[in-house]
Amino acid sequence: MLDKIKKYSWLIDSLMEAKWSTKKEVVHNFLNAKKKYVPKEKTNAKVGDILKCALCPNMCRFDCPVARVGNSEALTPAAKSRIAYLMEMGEIDFSGEFVDLMYKCAGCDASREWCPFDFSVEDLLVGVREDIVDKGLAPKALLELKDKLEKNHQIYDQSLIPPDTEAEKARILYFMGCTARAKVPDVVNTNIKLLEKSGLDFATIPDEWCCGAPLSTLGFKDSFYKFAEHNSRLINKSKCRTLVCDCPECAYVFRELYPKIGFRLKAEILPMNQFLLRLVEENKIKPAGLQGEFVYHDPCALSRKLNVCSAPRELLKSIPGLELKETYFSHRETRCCGMGGMLGITNPEISSKIGESRISELKEVCSNIVTACPTCELAFKNANKDKKVKVYDISEVLLKSLEK
């Protein structure tokens, strides 16, 4: 509550300096807002909040990665909210061009850091996307993606097969996630090696489905419900006390989104970097040392959605000889890798430009980039066209220090 008061202090100060008549009018209008500014029928979209965003003078546009690389005012948060509001109010049709615009968001929550209303643009757009789905107007490519997910339970065709373990008996479950399994399987193997070295009793989930983040993000709420039901049932019937996620977006979905639709996991939910730091602090893993400079990139989901910034840095600092470097845009003010919010699939060109912009910032610091998200690692490896830098997951750096 104190943080929110501080965030809105500029608004409070402005109101306090106004004339009494102005104060009275503002408060009266706020408390007696006419309902004609929202649709009569029920919507998934939070139209009242979308209107507030639409009327804002785009105070956050400078930090929106899509707007920065897109060179179009229509791509800014407030402009997308204006289009969304007009569609929801029936002033314009839910037509192809306007519908496509609703998916041009990286889901990074960068704009939220500067928003006087504390809005997540992604959250506002998800409601609009749910309305698009309900109207039967979802883009064909996204419907095909949904069908593929419902059939294969993974977002990618090829993925690493989980090792044969007894998931129902283990106290620690390792949730690998779609991207790590299919696109950076070396990270999965590295995490398994580290867990084995710790001597702890752990297991993977043989029938692991996608956490459902893509379905939730794209507005397929009914399909998301099915995935949440499946995963929560498997995890809750096990003896799992700690669920460790390689992907911070998975951890966020389990921790924050599942409870919103009635599925609360009994286990503690941790991103892998926090769990590895715990193992180091408990002397279950002892870094031997690693010489070199590494710049750390804060993943958006980890730093902003989960508010985890110190744990990965403490883990890297625990490695003797490693020199941790920082880039200017870091911690909660990090910049997006470009592949969040399903942007790499819905708008790959925009996604690539964002990734190239971010890796150029990191390159200026040093040639070893380390992150704590498989999606960020994949984005940077794709953007590393000249191969002048090396990109690591934080677990890979830790394992290198043990095997030296």
Domains of the chain by residue range = 1-31, 33-138, 172-278, 288-403
Q: Are 80 and 126 in contact (CB under 8 A)?
A: no
Instruction: Kindly state the percentage of the chain with pLDDT values over 90.
Output: 83
What's the confidence (pLDDT) of residue 162? 66
Question: What's the rounded mean pLDDT across residues 197-207?
Answer: 91
Predicted local distance difference test score (pLDDT) of residue 186: 95
Domain 172-278 has CATH 3.40.50: yes
Query: Tens digit of pLDDT for each residue in 238-249?
Result: 999 999 999 999
Per residue in 142-199, pLDDT tens? Answer: 999 999 999 999 999 876 666 656 667 789 999 999 999 999 999 999 999 999 999 9
Q: Which CATH architecture has domain 288-403?
A: 3-Layer(aba) Sandwich (3.40)
Query: CATH code for 33-138?
Result: 1.10.1060
Average pLDDT, the chain: 93
- Give the amino acid at 36: K
Contacts of 89 (CB under 8 A, 6+ apart): 39, 47
pLDDT tens digits for range 241-283:
999 999 999 999 999 999 999 999 999 999 999 999 999 999 9
As a whole number of angstroms, the distance between CA 85 and CA 53 comes to 10
Integer angstrom CA distances of residue 152 from 76, 146, 159, 164: 35, 10, 11, 19
Q: For 354-402, give the DSSP string.
A: HHHHHHHHHHTT-SEEEES-HHHHHHHHHH-TT--SEEEEHHHHHHHHH
**Does the structure show a pLDDT above 70 at 33?**
no
Query: Percentage of residues in the chain with pLDDT exceeding 70?
Result: 93
- The domains spanning 33-138 and 172-278 adopt the same CATH topology: no
Predicted TM-score (pTM) of this structure: 0.90
CA dihedral 307, 255, 352, 384 (to 10 degrees): 70
Q: How far lies 80's CA from each of 20, 218, 343, 390, in Å?
A: 36, 16, 15, 36
Region 37-66: what's the mean pLDDT?
A: 93
Q: Are 162 and 205 spatial neighbours (Cβ–Cβ below 8 Å)?
A: yes
pLDDT tens digits along 208-224: 999 999 999 999 999 99
pLDDT 10s digits, 109-140: 999 999 999 999 999 999 999 999 999 999 99
